[in-house]
Amino acid sequence: MNTRRDFLQKITYSVMALPFLPSTWQFDLASSDNKPYDGPVLRVAIMGLGGYGTRVAEAMQSCKKAKLAGVISGTPAKIKDWQSKYQIPKKNCYNYENFDTLKDNPDIDAVYVITPNALHHDQVIRAAKAGKHVICEKPMGLNAKEGEEMVRACEEANVKLLVGYRMHFEPNTLEVVRMRQHGDFGKILFFQGQCGFRIGDPNQWRLDKTLAGGGALMDIGIYAINGARYMVGEEPIWVTAQETKTDAVKFKEGVDETILFQLGFPSGAVASCLSTYNMNHLDRFFLNGEKGFAEMQPSTGYGPIVGRTHKGKLTQPHITHQTLQMEEMASIILEGKEAIIPVDGKEGLKDLKIIDAIYQSCKTGDKLTLNL
Distances from the Cα of 200 to the Cα of 4, 6, 102, 183, 194, angstroms? 10, 10, 37, 42, 19
What residues have CB less than 8 Å from 360, skipping those under 6 apart? 366, 368
Handedness of CA 335, 336, 340, 344 (dihedral sign): positive
Set 138, 160, 350, 353: catalytic member: 138
Q: Residue 354 in 3-state DSSP? A: helix
Helix 345-364 to helix 144-157 angle (10° resolution) is 170
What is the C-alpha separation between 241 and 172, in angstroms, rounded?
29
Set 13, 223, 230, 302: catalytic member: 223
223 as an active site residue: the answer is yes
Distances from the Cα of 288 to the Cα of 65, 186, 192, 226, 347, angstroms? 37, 9, 9, 17, 24
- Cβ atoms of 339 and 197 within 8 Å: the answer is no
What is the C-alpha separation between 185 and 178, in angstroms, rounded?
10
- Cβ atoms of 46 and 72 within 8 Å: the answer is yes
User: Which DSSP letter does residue 137 get?
Assistant: P
What is the C-alpha separation between 364 and 128, in angstroms, rounded?
37
Amino acid at 336: G
Distances from the Cα of 243 to the Cα of 138, 154, 360, 368, angstroms? 22, 34, 11, 15
Question: Nearest Cα to 114, choosing from 325, 256, 278, 333?
Answer: 325
- Cβ atoms of 306 and 176 within 8 Å: the answer is no
* 192: β partners: 272, 286
138 as an active site residue: the answer is yes
CA dihedral 265, 168, 54, 2 (to 10 degrees): 40
- What positions carry a catalytic annotation? 138, 223
